[in-house]
Amino acid sequence: MTTFDSFEIPLIQATNENLKGYGYLVDDYDQTEIEITAWPRKGWRDIDKGTGNEGGITEGPFETWWQGDILYGRNNAVEHKSDYDKDGQYLLGYSCHPKEANENSLKSDLKQIFIWHVNYHPDGGQLFFPNNNEPFISPLALPGDDMHLEKFKAFYCDGSKGLYIHANIWHEGVFPLKGKSTFRGKQGKVHARVSVDLYEEFQSYIFFDLQIYYLDCLKLNKLQNFLLNDHKMLWLELHGHQILLC
Distance CA 113, CA 207 (A): 5
Q: According to the model, what pLDDT value does residue 146 have?
A: 95
CA angle 222, 210, 138 (to 5 degrees): 115
Q: Residue 217: pLDDT band by 50, 70, 90 thresholds? A: very low
Q: pLDDT tens-digit profile of 33-65? A: 999 999 888 999 999 988 999 999 999 999 999
Q: According to the model, what pLDDT value does residue 214 have?
A: 58
CA angle 173, 25, 156 (to 5 degrees): 55
Q: Would the pLDDT of 29 be above 60?
A: yes
Q: According to the model, what pLDDT value does residue 215 have?
A: 53
Which residues contact residue 125 at a Cβ distance below 8 angstroms, ignoring those fewer than 6 apart? 23, 34, 35, 164, 165, 166, 167, 187, 188
CB of 142 within 8 A of CB of 167? no
- pTM across the whole model: 0.85
Q: According to the model, what pLDDT value does residue 213 have?
A: 61
Q: Would the pLDDT of 168 be above 60?
A: yes
Alpha-helical segments (H) within the chain: 198-202, 214-217
Distance CA 223, CA 202 (A): 42
- Residues, the chain: 246
Q: pLDDT tens-digit profile of 122-138? A: 999 999 999 999 999 99
CB of 53 within 8 A of CB of 36? yes
Beta strand pairing call for 6-8 and 241-245: unpaired
Beta strand pairing call for 112-115 and 6-8: unpaired
